[in-house]
Amino acid sequence: HGLPAISLGWGLWDQASAMTGGLDAADLARLGREGVLALSTAEALELFDTAMIVDEPFLAPARIDLTALRAHAVAVPPMFSDLASAPTRRQVDDSVAAAKSKSALAHRLHGLPEAEQHAVLLGLVRLHIATVLGNITPEAIDPDKAFQDLGFDSLTAVEMRNRLKSATGLSLSPTLIFDYPTPNRLASYIRTELAGLPQEIKHTPAVRTTSEDPIAIVGMACRYPGGVNSPDDMWDMLIQGRDVLSEFPADRGWDLAGLYNPDPDAAGACYTRTGGFVDGVGDFDPAFFGVGPSEALAMDPQQRMLLELSWEALERAGIDPTGLRGSATGVFAGVMTQGYGMFAAEPVEGFRLTGQLSSVASGRVAYVLGLEGPAVSVDTACSSSLVALHMAVGSLRSGECDLALAGGVTVNATPDIFVEFSRWRGLSPDGRCKAFAAAADGTGFSEGGGMLVLQRLSDARRLGH
C-alpha cells in the first residue's frame, strides 16, 4: 500500500530469547571482548522509541564497545565504518607488536630445559583456554583433552588463535586447534615455532614398480565372533576348527521374540536365528582416543572398532601410533553404513551425522592419529575390504604414501540385513554359507573387523618392522 517501513537490525539483548537463549555467561563475555555488548530491556525499548522518530529506513540498534572493536578487528565491518575507522598504520603496528611478543617469550624460554619450556608454553595455552571459555580454571584443564571436548567451537577457535597470535608473535593458522587438537600438542608446536627448529622435510619417494619392491604386511589386528580378539586367537580358532556362529545377541535391543518367523513373507521378521556376532561391540574407551561421551554414543560401533584395530595393528607392527602425526600414512577401510543411531533418542545432535556416515570412518582414524596420507572409505559390498587393500597397495607403489592401514569392519547394529534377505528368500535358514556345495541354500551373515599395516618391503627391512 505504499506505507513507510523501518527495518531494525537488532544487536544483542541480555534478555533470553529464541535466538540468544543458548548463550551462557562465557559466550556473553566472549562477545563483549569482541566489542558486542548486550542491551538491557530498558535500553532496547528506548532505542526502539528513538527509531520511530528518526527518518531512516534501516537502523541497527546495538551496544558497541568501539575500543574492543578496533582492537579485535583486522578490518572494521562496513556497517561500523563511520563509527570506528581502521588505523592507517595498523598492519605496521601489528608487526612491531608481534615481533616484541615473540622476542619476549623467546627470551623467557632461553636457557630452560625442553621440559620446562613445554611447561611454560602449556601454562600459556591453558591460561588462554580458561580466558576464552570463561567457565574453567587453567589448572583444571586436562592437557590431553581435545579442544572440541573442552567446549571449543569455530568462533572460540578463532578467538583462541588470535589470543595466542598476540601472545607469541607467531603467524598462526586459523585452523590451529584443529591441526593440534590438544593443549599438549599445541604447546609442543608453539615451542617448535619459537625455537626456529627445522620442520621435517617430506620427500616424495620415487615410484617403484611391482618387481622392484614387494609390499610387506608388518602388523595386523582383528575382531571376530567366538572371542577372537587377536591374530593368535584367530589362528587357534582355525586350528581347532571351531564353529563360532551363535543365536542373535540379547544385548543389542533387538526384539528377539518377534524377530524370528519361519514364514519368509512375515513383515519385520527373518527365518533364521543364527549369525556371527562379536562380543562386547558396545565396549569402547572414548577418552583414550580423545572422543567425548556424547560423540562416542553417536558413533557407529564400526567406527569405534576401526579406531581400536588401527591402534592395535600399529602396536603389533612395533610402531608407536602417537609417533605418526604428520606422516604420509594412508587409511583404506572397507565399511558400509548399517543404520546405527538412525532412531536414537539420546541428545546426540551435532554428532549423529558424522557418527553414521561410512565416509567418516577412515577420516576419523586419520584425524585421531594425525595422519596426512589418503583417507578412503570403500563400499563395494562384500568386496569392500579387498578393494581397500588393493587401493592401499597401489598407493604405496605409487609413492602416494609410505605406510598404509588397510582393512575393513562390519557390525550389525540392527537386524535389518537379516530381515531384508528373508524377503528375498536369500538367507540360509541355519545361518551358514555352503559355497559350492549341493546343500547350499542361501547366505549367512557375520560381523567382525580386520586391519593390516602395509609397507614397502625395503622400508620395512630398513626400519626393522
Per-domain boundaries in the chain: 7-80, 90-195, 215-463
CATH top-level class of 90-195: mainly alpha
> CA-CA distance, 399 to 318, in Å (whole number)?
22
Read off φ and ψ for residue 98, nearest 5 degrees.
-65, -45
The set of residues, in sequence order, having a beta carbon less than 8 Å from that of 132 and lying 6+ positions away, is: 30, 152, 156, 159, 160, 163
12, 41 contact by CB (below 8 A) = no
Indicate the pTM of the whole model.
Answer: 0.68
Residue 43: Cβ-neighbour burial (10 angstroms; 0-12, 13-18, 19+): middle
Task: Answer whether residue 291 shows pLDDT above 80.
Answer: yes
pLDDT tens-digit profile of 329-355? 999 999 998 888 665 556 667 788 888
Residue in 246, 256, 260, 106 with CA at minimum distance from that of residue 170 = 106
Listing DSSP states for 218-266 in one string gives EEEEEEBTTTB-SHHHHHHHHHHT----EEPPSSS---HHHHB-S-TT-
Across the range 156-182, mean pLDDT stands at 89
pLDDT tens-digit profile of 265-289? 999 999 999 999 999 999 999 989 9
The architecture of the domain spanning 215-463 is: 3-Layer(aba) Sandwich (3.40)
Range from 91-100, 216-225, 361-370 that averages highest in pLDDT:
216-225
At residue 201 the predicted structure's pLDDT band, cuts being 50, 70 and 90, is: very low
Residue % of the chain over a pLDDT of 70: 86
> CA-CA distance, 355 to 348, in Å (whole number)?
9
196, 187 contact by CB (below 8 A) = no
